[in-house]
């Protein structure tokens, strides 16, 4: 088991599996339809509607960017914890893992505060532009 954890191919496969699982989890939490349902919509003709208001578009773009950066930060926290647990007492690896954890948690805090500020700003912009 010890050699398996330090195998580079195992690490790559584990990262890919974790990312796929997180994609399923986040898509389920956002209420997205299954891929089969989405593929059925392709080529059936789309109903063109009026463009969305600018605050809504800006809010969606900010939401997407902050969601992706939040996911990356959570992955970095998990990866730092994994590195720390598999350091095997090596002080250099433990030091690198601690630094990665500190930086990832700081990045996550910055991302969450940016999300809160952006949410507030877009809500206020929406209230100001609608009657």
Q: Which two structure tokens, joined as six digits, stand for 63?
A: 């939401």
The whole domain housing 119 covers 50-131
- pTM score, two decimals? 0.54
Is 55 in the same domain as 31? no
pLDDT in tens, the chain (131 residues): 455 555 666 677 777 777 776 666 665 555 555 656 666 666 665 555 667 777 677 777 877 888 888 888 888 889 988 888 888 888 999 999 899 889 888 888 888 888 888 778 878 877 887 76
Residues 26 and 58 in one domain: no
Tell whether 85 and 21 lie within a shared domain. Answer: no
Domains held by the chain: number: 2
Residue where one domain finishes, among candidates 30, 47, 64: 47
Angle, helices 54-85 vs 8-29, to 10°: value is 140
What one-character-per-residue DSSP string does 50-70 give?
PPPPHHHHHHHHHHHHHHHHH
């Amino acid at each position: 088991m010890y050699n398996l954890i330090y195998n580079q191919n195992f690490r790559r496969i584990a990262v890919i599996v974790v990312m796929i699982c997180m994609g399923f989890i986040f898509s389920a939490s956002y209420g997205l339809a299954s891929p089969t349902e989405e593929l059925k919509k392709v080529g059936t003709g789309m109903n063109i509607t009026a463009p969305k208001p600018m605050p809504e578009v800006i809010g969606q773009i900010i939401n997407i960017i902050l969601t992706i950066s939040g996911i990356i930060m959570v992955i970095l926290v998990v990866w730092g914890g994994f590195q720390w647990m598999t350091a095997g007492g090596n002080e250099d690896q433990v030091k690198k893992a601690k630094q990665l954890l500190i930086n990832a948690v700081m990045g996550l805090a910055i991302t969450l505060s940016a999300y809160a500020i952006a949410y507030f700003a877009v809500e206020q912009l929406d209230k100001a532009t609608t009657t």
